[in-house]
A and B are shown apart, each in its own frame.
Chain A
């Protein structure tokens, strides 16, 4: 019985490998103009899912982990893509909204997600890195409050 279950799981695992996703890093056409300290922190904690500079881990080729990685990167890039920051900036209101989203994520400490931090321990932001990002975002928001609606 136990052997049958193991064989069944092995078959499922093998079958799952058929569903594959392409790992793409589209061209970087722009980037957010943040101070170097902030840039380093953002790259460390956010860029794998929120930019076109994803470092695809080897597990990203192994189903079912690959499915989750693909979902997180696709959704992450849709919601906030630092490589498309210039596109946001062409609409002052959108740029302001993206900054507010970062502010909210920092305040709620829900980014990067816990499961990402688990496999990427170095992505956890230090207190000083968090403060640097929060300070930069607050400054940018204050500077854009007068932008036309």
Chain B
């Protein structure tokens, strides 16, 4: 009886691990993303749905740390070389919101457009 319970628990544990893996992948894949590389950011303009909170993946593909900064969005995050972060953003009014790399002035700049 005990071994059967253990067996069931193991099966549930395996399913739980697989399921959590799927959820993490699904979340990461669904998020809008901006990538910093070689002094540029892609996409230069990211269009998102207005009045809907969202999370943004910021990927740093450069060899240096960058600082994802937006005065209009009240966001400031350091991203280490080769790393990525998720930035939480509130529901935005329709409009354009600039962001840039504050550690490399005059380099990468982009816009988030809420429509």
Which chain A residues have a beta carbon within 8 Å of chain B's beta carbons?
78, 81, 84, 87-88, 90-94, 97-98, 101, 148-149
Residue of B nearest to A88 (CB): B74
Residues 61-83 of chain B, each 1 if its beta carbon lies under 8 Å from chain A, else 0: 00000000001001111100000
- In the complex, 12 of the A-B residue pairs with CB atoms within 8 angstroms, ordered by the A residue number, are A84-B74, A88-B74, A90-B88, A91-B75, A91-B88, A93-B85, A93-B87, A93-B88, A94-B74, A94-B76, A94-B87, A97-B78
List B7-51 residues whose CB lies under 8 Å from chain A: none
With A91-B89, A148-B86, A149-B85 in contact, is A78–B75 under 8 Å at CB?
A: no
How far is B81's CA from A24's CA once the two chains are assembled, in angstroms?
39
Residue of A nearest to B89 (CB): A91
Q: List A contacts of B78 (CB < 8 A).
A: 97
How far is B78's CA from A142's CA once the two chains are assembled, in angstroms?
18
Name the interface size band of chain B: 10 to 19
How far is B76's CA from A98's CA once the two chains are assembled, in angstroms?
8
Query: Is A92 in contact with B88, judged by CB distance below 8 angstroms?
Result: yes
Q: List B contacts of A94 (CB < 8 A).
A: 74-77, 87
With A78-B71, A149-B85 in contact, is A93–B77 under 8 Å at CB?
A: yes
Residue of B nearest to A74 (CB): B71
